[in-house]
Structure 1
Amino acid sequence: MFVSYKWLEEYVDLDGMNPEILAEKITRSGIEVEGIEYKGEGIKGVVIGHVLEREQHPNADKLNKCLVDFGVDEPVQIICGAPNVDKGQKVAVATVGAVLPGNFKIKKAKLRGEASHGMICSLQELGIQGKLVPKEYAEGIFVFPSETETGTNALEKLALDDAVLELGLTPNRADAMNMLGVAYEVAAILGRKVKLPETSYQAGSEKAADYISVKVDDKEANPLYAAKMIKDVKIGPSPLWMQTKLINAGIRPHNNVVDITNFVLLEYGQPLHAFDYHRFGSKEVVIRKAFENETIVTLDEQERTLTHKHLVITNGSIPQAVAGVMGGAESEVREDTTMILLEAAYFNGQTVRQASKDFGLRSESSIRFEKGIDPARVLLAAERAADLISQYAGGVVLEGTVVEDHLDIKENTISLSTEKVTKVLGMSISQEEMVHIFEKLGFSVETSEVDLIVTVPSRRGDIAIEEDLIEEVARLYGYDNIPSTLPELTGFSGGLTSYQAKRRKVRRFLEGAGLSQAITYSLTNDKKATAFSLEKSFKTFLSLPMSEERSVLRQSLLPNLLDSVAYNLARQSDSVAFYEIGSVFYKVEEQTKPVEKEHVAGAVTGLWHKNLWQGEKKLVDFFVMKGLVEGLLEKLGIHEGIEFVQSERKELHPGRTANILYNGVLVGFIGQLHPFFEKELDLPETYIFELDLHELFALDVADITYTAIPRYPSVTRDIALVVSKEITSGQLEDVIKKAGGKLLNEVHVFDVYEGEHMEEGKKSVAFSLQYLNPEQTLTEEEVTEIHNQVLKALEDAYQAVLRG
């Protein structure tokens, strides 16, 4: 909701308060002011000029030579390229020395040999968006009313000296989607009174009921419909003050009648619609549900096919408007319109929402009906619009309003315990203070010793229960004024649970390793839902998804994480390293609720590290990622029982993939993304992993212990084994560790060779073995004995022989 500061001043005395201070007060009371736009900021030197003469530029077909008076000294010559500039017009002139948006400074100039002392400005050149400029001035300069005084400040006339506050309204605060609603809120905050607009017009001698009747077939969808008749209307521009208010609120001016309905919409929050009575085609208004496959051409000139779910305004037979959404083109107000049928109604929000969603039409009217309008303002808004049409369109308002009313307007009466207010807020507020707050809000209050009986006006439909009133007390009293207190607890000390501590370890380790945390949607599309899944599971579909791309609960973190990697690479990031800790959802049986489990996943591509001053670069590879996962598991205290087993997954590279098992149970996987998926996502070599934290955190592992640095020297022996190609280094390593016993301190692979000097079907795997006795120095005999045991065990298990 855009709120003009100057327009708001018409309803509440702001006493010259700085817009920044006002915005802070509104935000602190519960409605966030997301920003303030100072219209015309940085613009100066723009005045109203009077074009005294206009003639064709002698040297340019598309330029005009104008003599312009702007109230100071002698008239000056200005060269203007606008096609609609003409003699006698009042226009916005940027004088020499003026500054326009973008810090564009106006200087004396010569255009095709003719001097130009200023610039005649269009609204776009003054910073107004093109989509908000009236259509007749979209391709040229704006022409002010002839009575506008020459030489006056053009920014003031265009309301470009205003500040516009943008309110970020939550769905429950529909009451603030109009100027009066904001005025009530600001008046309560400042302790001021609201000045309501006055309505007064002289009704004509004829009666509206002689021209129109109203019949509502679906009283639930439309409990109140009112029609006013206005004749002798003259269609033309609306007054400049109204046009500028609409522009500052983000609405394009059209003509006086349409602008008045939009003005009242913004002022009262009540949508209205004006029909051309002579084009309406009947003396009766019938509101009903549409017939199946019935059609209407709406104001945007699109033909819409209706269903029985849509409520329409008809002339007894043909639809003339989709209720609450958009009018029909057939009966729209045009330049030759002379008689108006003015509609003011209360439509069911769900019915309007259905039509708005089906047609992809979300208008200012439909938004307000969906959120909820004040039923008490429906007829007041109709009277306000009729008054304005009589003033600014010369219309004669016929006597009376034709109404079909089945709307029961109730004001909520709620009993509030003062003791409960104290308990919920954790502080004592006097009953007198509570009464004062409710009265500032415009609520009526009856008091007793311990309770308040509060009657809430219909404009505040969000207040229905006792807790709502407590919230009103808190926010108007001031959240900052509520004291901070610590809870009184005995025999309790705070701390992380074991699960939380482990999750924090995971996060710290991965961030310490150089990965950045990503947070992605838990929802994905049907195609990606089962990709990379650790378990077989049925898909979990949303009943009412916002889009197809966010319609299924994910079974892996990786699809959305890889999208984030691709997004960043597409924006000139050559290396990306992301991780995510989040929930995945599995469903064992199709008709059951999904089970939520926490996983961690990582995706790394590009350079793992680079030392440019040393000319060193290292690309990420499988072993970098494996080392990362091993380090993470070690940080969690999971040393024994973990195996990396070569495997195949359709999403991963066939030769660079491993399942991660704990005591034979699958707890994750690691590998390179399959080249097909890399190409699909436009990624270079990318390495990924995913672990089931739900399983890993549940393991009962011993605490990490640290040992002193050994005092005695170690002995290192290297061996190169010739084995069958099918045997993995991990299998050999397991045998070495078992045979080496307690004295084998460390073992790792440092070379694998397959080549022309190797027997067919064989390979050479080289290990480095470190022996250590923490109690004493090892002797050569001890090392030899253990080493021979290792070689014997390898020969027995896999027929491994030392490479000669």
Structure 2
Amino acid sequence: MPIALPANELAEKISRTAVEVEGQYRPQGNMKNVVIAKVLSVVPHPDSDHLVITQLDAGEDEPIQVVTGAPNVAEGQTVILAKHGSVIGDGQKIRRGKLRGEKSNGMLSALQELGMDNSVAPKDFEEGIWVFNDTDAADLKPGADALEVLGFGDDILELGITPNRADMLSMNGTAYEVAAILNERPELPAFELNESSEATADLIQAEAPADLAPKYGVRVVKDVHVQDSPLWLQRRLWNMGIRPISNVVDVTNLMLLTYGQPLHAFDLDRLPAPKLQVRTAKAGEVIKTLDGVERKAAEGDIVIDSDGQALMFAGVMGGESTEVTADTQNVVLEAAIFEPKAIRHAARDQNLHSESSQRFERGVDVEATFKALDHAAAMIAELGGGTVTNGRVIAQDFDYEAPTVDITTEKINDVLGTDITTAEIAAIFERLCFTQMEQDGRFSVTIPSHRWDISIPADLIEEVARLYGYDNLPATLPTGETTPGKLTEKQRLIRDSRHSLEGLGLNQAISYVLTTPEKATQFAMDPEATPVEVDYPMSQDRRVTRGSLLTSLLDDIAYNVARKQEDVSLYEQGRVFASNGMSTMPDEIEHLAGVVTGDVRERDWDQAAQPADFFYLKGVVEQLLADYGFVDNVRFVANTDRPEMHPGQTADIYVGDQFVGFIGQVHPRVAKFYKVGQVFGFELNLTDILRMPRVKSKYEPISKFPSIKRDLAILVDRDIQSADLVDTIKQHGGTDLHDVTVFDVYTGDNVAADKKSVAYSLTFVNREHTLQDDAINAAIERMTKALQDQFAAEIR
């Protein structure tokens, strides 16, 4: 089906109707003045042992002289000439000049020099220039545009195929789609199969269980001459990103692209026995695949066996032991449909995500399997001069029953909010090549095998919508009852946490959930928790789930510090994971963590910089926890047992008697491991916090009566925690005690070595009346007595 529409307009229609067009280009790019030339003569360069002087017929009145170092140039060849003034790959301009004193008026080119990737070019760059074979050269005229001959002037569209549209992984499937978009009929490739009288069953046998291969069949092509494919076939393959190998292999790849049906070719004479068997792999079986790598099969992988020897990973990649080579004469062609889950398992296990495995995983047209097999056999016989033996050997097959889906015009219009007529809907189904029966607006639609993604009425409604045109659908408001949305308690807590921390100067980070086994156990609140290992990690650094958010934040700190950003304050809210040993699914726990490093206040003309420290971060956490409004008191208890935290600057955080997290300085040894300086961090268990009783915030008017402040200085043992002293003061301070703040801690002269002096500022407020000194003095006497009794404190 020739398409007269410009490529950019076709791309726009495909993107609006079917799938996204990710790229549109011509391989030619900005190249120009590259022509076909015939080598008239080749003589050695008089002043070089590796250069030669060639005379070329490029369709001009006089031959063109070119000096080249190509090792494969010879008289009589048809080659590619980049003439003087030409532009080739990467914008390189070719000018006439002299090489070792001899004039050179251009350059003989390899395909790689025209911008073709070496992984796609049929010949390696080191082998020399591109030479057309004699058959193709007979149809080429010197001076013709080489870029057009090579297909570099073709318009290429790269489609982003979504998983539900695996039918468009084939040219036939794409032809159906484009024909429907343009309201045309697709023209699919036709072929003629001529068979010999020799029976295929006399040469090869096949066996396959239905659960592994619902369809499996083979054909034999005898007396094949394996050689390079003709230019038209190579051109088609390299423009679709596949490297041409030989006429046999290229035909199987062409069938894969045309029908979406993977095929495989065996050398019949290299099979251990004249029989192919589909089976599951045995533990420890080793297969050397076509890429030269020896791979150990896993139990459950599907392999193709001959005489007890595993030859290849079925549907993934062939084996080297039976591959088609230049010496191959007799070819066995295999076509099958393999169990998708087993193919996916093998592809992931072997890290071999091939063109074949991609199609088997997503699905193939079950009605095209043996058609592609016959087409490939006919084409190999044609291009290789062989003969196709009589009949297929079928190991497994089934009769395809096309599904039928019922839908009504009323239902379609009701869902889409349209007034599409029954005739218009019938026309859309006709464009899609769907067989239909319609009566009074009721459709019974039979789905063809190439559209296995359609099975329910909603699928048909989608087909109607996209071909009718999304732009033609009216804009309508939803009908029915609506309910106001609101946040859950968990969502509200998480959002409030973010607002609080951002208001306190921290920036949100979003980090990878997967990490290394070494980092997965660091900073874990539960030392007994076991990290969860991923079956198919994307890299060695992303093998297990994290057990703490601090490891992710330290990675973020390291990333910033390595780029000279040394003042960093970050927080992250996310989940940590742990195996519970009782279920296949891990426990997912909501956490909140933060880190600060460097200066938290920049140096200015009137103030010094303020570096981050324990007490700065403690103030942040105290304010965050105060915003939660817990019923129970928040306590910070010193802890020296966390291996990743500094033993002298670490505290566990409790709400009442419930442990909810920790805060402190990251141990210098751990900081060195992450290649960062001094870092302070905290981590909270939001899942536990969410279960705790909290009071709703409510407005309290400011007292009309003045507050009274008193200072209290005491001398206590050095190992006594200030938090314990503050708790005692609050317990005995009475209802008028509003705030207790530490404003001085002194050790040194006039204080014993095992003592410290701690001074507190006490604020008293009463909302009903002005406080009297007698009431304040009584409260202070109660505090001092309690401090003396509990801590042997001396009042200073």
Does the aligned pair in 2 maintain the 1:200–1:387 contact within 8 Å? Answer: yes
Please give the secondary structure, in 1, of the residue aligned with 2:358.
Answer: helix
Aligned twin of 1:676: 669
Deviation string for 1:618-661 (max 9, x for gaps)?
43222232222223233334596122221232332211211221
Over 3 Å counting, the alpha-carbon distance change for 1:721 and 1:27 in structure 2 is: farther
Aligned residues of 1:535 and 1:586 also touching (Cα < 8 A): no
CA contact (8 A) 1:537 1:587 kept: no
Cα drift, residue 142 of structure 1: 1.9
How far is the alpha carbon of 1:70 from its aligned partner?
Answer: 3.2
* Contact in 2 for aligned 1:538/1:590 (Cα 8 Å): no
Q: Hey, what does 1:17 align to over in structure 2? A: 6
CA distance in 2 between counterparts of 1:123 and 1:300 reads 23
Equivalent runs, 1:753-764 vs 2, <5 Å: 753-764=746-757
* 1:721 paired to 2:721: no
Alpha-carbon offset, residue 411 of structure 1:
1.3
Code of the residue aligned with 1:200 in structure 2: it is E
Residue 644 of structure 2: aligned partner: 651
CA distance in 2, matches of 1:431, 1:691: 61
Q: Say yes or no: does 1:122 pair with 2:134.
A: no
Size of the aligned set, in residue pairs, is 789
- Is the counterpart of residue 608 in structure 1 residue 600 in structure 2? yes
Corresponding residue for residue 370 of structure 2:
379
| Structure 1 equivalent of residue 687 of structure 2 | 694
Counterpart contact for 2:298–2:346, Cα < 8 Å: no
Structure-2 separation of matches of 1:28 and 1:60: 60
Deviations 1:69-94 (A, max 9, x none): 43346444434333333333333333
**Distance across 1 between alignment mates of 2:433 and 2:200:** 36
1:455 aligns to 2:443 (yes or no): no
8 Å CA contact retained: 1:130, 1:138: no
In the alignment, the residues of structure 1 paired with residue 131 and residue 336 of structure 2 have an alpha-carbon distance, to the nearest angstrom, of 36
- With 38-47 and 455-464 compared, the bigger mean Cα shift is at 38-47
| Aligned residue in 1 for 2:257 | 266
1:224 matched to 2:215? The reply is yes
Q: Distance in 1 between matches of 2:481 and 2:299?
A: 63
User: TM-score, length-normalised on structure 1?
Assistant: 0.86
Which amino acid letter does the alignment assign opposite residue 331 of structure 2?
Answer: I
Q: Secondary structure at the match of 2:677?
A: coil
Task: Classify 1:440/1:386 alpha carbon distance in 2 versus 1 (closer, same or farther; 3 Å).
Answer: same
Q: Which runs of 5+ in 2 are unaligned?
A: none
Contact 2:206 2:218 in 1 (8 A): no
Show the 5 A alignment for 1:29-178: 29-72=17-60, 74-145=62-133, 146-147=137-138, 148-178=140-170
The 8 Å contact of residues 272 and 307 in structure 2, kept in 1 or not, is answered as no
Return the offset for 1:263. Answer: 1.1
Output the amino acid matched with 1:345: A
Q: Assess if the C-alpha contact under 8 Å between 1:60 and 1:112 holds in 2.
A: yes
Partner of 2:548: 556
User: Structure 1 residues 696, 290: closer, same or farther in 2, change over 3 A?
Assistant: closer
Partner of residue 186 from structure 1, selected from 178, 182, 188: 178
- Quote the Cα distance in structure 2 between the aligned partners of 1:454 and 1:361: 39
Q: Could you report, residue by residue, the CA deviation over 1:298-328 in whole angstroms, capped at 9, with x for unpaired residues?
A: 4334455667745444555655444333333
1:800 counterpart residue number = 793
Aligned with 2:659 (options 660, 663, 666): 666
Residue 574 of structure 2: which of 574, 577, 582 is its match?
582
The secondary structure found in structure 2 opposite 1:414 is: strand
Superposed CA deviations along residues 276-295 of structure 1, whole A, max 9, x for unmatched, are: 33334655545555667665
Instruction: Give, in whole Å, the separation in 2 of the partners of 1:756 and 1:86.
Output: 99
Bigger drift between 283-292 and 95-104 goes to 283-292
| 1:5 alignment partner in structure 2 | none
The alpha carbon displacement at 1:194 in A equals 1.0
Unmatched tracts of structure 1, length 5 or more: 1-11
TM-score normalized by structure 2? 0.87
Shift of 1:172: 3.2
Match of 1:766 in 2: 759
Q: Deviations over 1:550-576 (max 9, x none)?
A: 676655333344344445545554444
Report what 2:627 is aligned to.
635
Aligned equivalents of 1:627, 1:701: Cα separation in 2: 21
Change (3 A) 1:275 1:798: closer
Query: How far, CA to CA, are the matches of 1:267 and 1:749 in structure 2?
Result: 79
Distance, in Å, in 2 between the alignment partners of 1:703 and 1:114 is 92
Q: Is the 8 A contact 1:218 1:289 kept in 2?
A: no
Deviations 1:534-559 (A, max 9, x none): 45765485795557876766553333
Structure 1 residues 517, 154: CA separation in 2 closer, same or farther (over 3 Å shift)? farther
User: What are the equivalent positions in structure 2 for 1:230-245 lying under 5 Å apart?
Assistant: 230-245=221-236
Shift of 1:269: 1.0
How far residue 259 of structure 1 moved from its aligned partner, in angstroms, is: 0.9
Q: Partner letter of residue 505 of structure 1?
A: D
- Distance in 1 (alpha carbons) for counterparts of 2:583 and 2:220: 58
Q: What amino acid is aligned across from residue 165 of structure 2 in structure 1? A: R
1:467 maps onto 2:458 in alignment: yes
Q: How far apart are residue 376 of structure 1 and its match? A: 1.0
Comparing 607-616 with 95-104, greater Cα deviation is found at 607-616
Tell me, what secondary structure is at the counterpart of 1:221?
Answer: coil
Report what 1:9 is aligned to: none
Q: Equivalents in 1 of 2:568, 2:74: separation in Å? A: 61
- Partners of 1:593 and 1:316 lie apart in 2 by 42
| 1-structure distance, mates of 2:781, 2:46 | 108
- Mapping of 1:180-329 within 5 angstroms? 180-200=172-192, 203=194, 205-209=196-200, 211-280=202-271, 283-288=274-279, 296-303=287-294, 309-314=300-305, 318-329=309-320
Q: Which stretch has the larger CA shift, 62-71 or 626-635?
A: 62-71
CA shift at 1:725, angstroms?
0.7
Query: Which residue is equivalent to 2:523?
Result: 532
**AA partner of residue 228 (structure 1):** R
Contact kept in structure 1, 2:7 and 2:155, CA below 8 Å: no
Asked whether the equivalents of residues 570 and 595 of structure 2 are also in contact (C-alpha less than 8 Å), the reply is yes
Secondary structure at 2:315 match in 1: coil
1:243 alignment partner AA:
Q
User: How far apart in 2 are the matches of 1:685 and 1:106?
Assistant: 58
Q: Residue 539 of structure 1 contacts residue 553 of structure 1 at CA under 8 Å; is this kept in 2?
A: no
Contact 2:180 2:431 in 1 (8 A): yes
Structure 1 residues 802 and 42, CA gap change in structure 2 (3 angstroms):
farther
